[in-house]
Amino acid sequence: MSKKYILAFAIIVAVALGIGIWALYPFPTSSPSQSYNSTQHTDPDWTCPPEGEPATPLPDFLMVVAEVMPSVVSVTTEMNVSSFFGQSTEYVVGSGIITDDKGYIATNNHVVENAQNIYVELDDGRILPANIVGTDPLSDLAVIKIDATDLPYAYWGNSGLLSIGDWVLAIGNALGGGGGATQGIVSRLNVSVNVDGNTLYGLIQTTAAINPGNSGGPLVNMSGEVIGITSVKIVASEVEGIGFAISSDEAKPIIRDLIRYGHVTYPWLGVWARTVNPLLAATMNLPVDRGALIVEIVAGSPADTAGLIEDDIIIHFGGQEVSDIADLVRAIRASEIGEDVEIAFVRGEDTEITSALLVEYPTS
């Protein structure tokens, strides 16, 4: 091939590549009417914004764990179980919170119920037998005691001061592996959850991971105060990060009564009710969109004696507003056995007032 043909071929290739590159990268051309003004969006007087307050540091989880961990114990319960194959021993693991230096430990009722033997492992490695002081299935709380003194104990906080988004730590014997901690935030407050037919009220929902073995352990704020007792989690393939703790405000009076008396007595009204909300009100054509709708009255109960009937909607109890079932339960439990309580309720289109003499919650 001659030099003339080689040169011609090179020119053709170069032109072809130039066209290809131009087709792939069609850079705009400027025209007098569409010129790009490089100073159009500039600001010659701009300065960096002045520094504000220092950013809030992330929570110091290490210090919180160091503060709380010595007061958290692992609880192991032995139970004798009968089956087709005969008697066997099952073990339930949980957690507990040392509540004073005398050996009282708060935990969940479901951790220790039906126990033949209970053993507690302290943070320092000691393993001691424990005895049941008292249990309360309604709140899923229990108190056990070990024969030890001068123990490190937890400090209780006020769960009523919590806000959604607050940092919390769940500390306990997760999966029976000993003391551990998980972090999360408060997701919801004053939640009600039905567990095996028993409704727990005033719960704290948290994203802190709660696993088997955590039950009975503390949920603490960033001051290291116990603001809840971890109790239950929702287990489902489509659910993640939903656990619940009994709030400290609900737990403290129950723990106190269990330590003082060995049992808890509740005032009793004697109604079955459901929460009234706007959807239920619209569906049932109710006159109000909040309150507790009575669906059943126990014969001979304080509610029956007070003249309440089915379909009445309780809106105030003992001076406290009732917007839902949790409000009613809380108001009843805040009352005293033998107290004559004023009740406001809606019947038809009228609001009426009655009073009920509360009695002790029947055990059978």
Cα gap 212→92, rounded to integer Å: 9
For residue 17, give the 3-state DSSP assignment.
helix
- Whether 74 sits among the annotated catalytic residues: the reply is no
Which whole-number Å values give the CA distances from 70 to 125, 156, 175, 203, 360, in the listed order?
Answer: 10, 15, 19, 25, 38
Active-site residue (options: 71, 74, 110, 327) = 110
- Is 215 among the residues known to form the active site? yes
Count H helices and E strands in the chain, helices first.
Answer: 7, 21
Active-site position among 71, 95, 140, 327:
140
> Which of 71, 74, 139, 215 does the annotation list as catalytic?
215
* Closest of 258, 253, 215 to residue 94, by C-alpha: 215
Q: What is the rounded distance in angstroms from the CA atom of residue 246 to the CA atom of residue 108?
A: 10
**CB-neighbour burial class of residue 60 (10 A; exposed 0-12, middle 13-18, buried 19+):** exposed
> How many angstroms separate the CA atoms of 28 and 31, rounded?
10
Active site residue 140: yes
- By annotation, the residues acting in catalysis are 110, 140, 215
